[in-house]
Structure 1
């Protein structure tokens, strides 16, 4: 597993950035950078499952490990799903995404910490900066 970190200062409140990150209407807009038609099905509550879909019936099964509104959310990736069927048999280890929002001089510093398979490092290094730009555009 590899650890990656991405940061973006956004000229908006933490509440607004949080709304963009998790909002039903905004989530698909900023995650389109990863996969056009991306959706998520979850209530974002600690302990809840989350289904991150590519819009074609495939995606990741995850669990919300922590949720402190407007400050921090941790998502542990458990496996995949295809055509509505979960496959949790692959060893994903400690694959996670953490989103930390800090208020700094009236702006929000958004930090993304990832622990992912080496296979995904190049892709994430290319796409996360673009995704953060889109989050900023939507929040500002």
Structure 2
């Protein structure tokens, strides 16, 4: 499976702590994750070595492990396998997704990198642009 990496960055006029809350608070997560798939949500432990399931309303999505986490600064997920109806599907190999927050003078730069199968790259790259804009809007409210 050929993979490409989405690499996007956005400046947000809000402290890193607020951007982090927008990213990972269940209610705001659902708002920006909607850019990828309406009804998206996650379950699990958002902590080092925790397991997270990123799901759509039909329990399709993927299961991931939190490889590293520094609150308000950085989180990296290793995507383990697809989920179909909540059941383990195809392995996702070494695909990773990383969110990095860097704050300077109250402005946070959010960088998102995400490994993606080539066939989904264009759609997911466009969805990521939309998701980042929603995160910015929510954090700047």
Deviation at residue 55 of structure 1 after TM alignment: 1.4
TM score, norm. by length of structure 2: 0.93
Structure 1 distance, partners of 2:98, 2:22, is 16
Q: What displacement does 1:91 show?
A: 4.1
Q: Which runs of 4+ in 1 moved over 6 A?
A: none
Structure 1 residues 83 and 91, CA, compared in 2 at 3 Å: closer, same or farther? closer
Equivalent residues in 2 for 1:17-32 (5 A)?
A: 17-32=19-34
Find the counterpart in structure 2 of residue 81 from structure 1. Answer: 83
Paired positions, count: 138
For the residue of structure 2 that corresponds to 1:35, the secondary structure is: coil
Deviation sequence 1:86-134 (CA, Å, 0-9, x none)? 22xx342211110000012320000001122111210122111110000
TM (normalized to structure 1)? 0.94
2:94 is matched with 94
The answer for the alignment partner of 1:130 in structure 2 is 130
Structure 2 counterpart of 1:10: 12
RMSD: 1.1
Show structure 2 runs of 5+ residues with no match: none
SS of 2:79 mapped into structure 1? strand
Structure 1's unaligned 5+ residue stretches are none
**Aligned positions of 1:50-129 closer than 5 A:** 50-87=52-89, 90-129=90-129
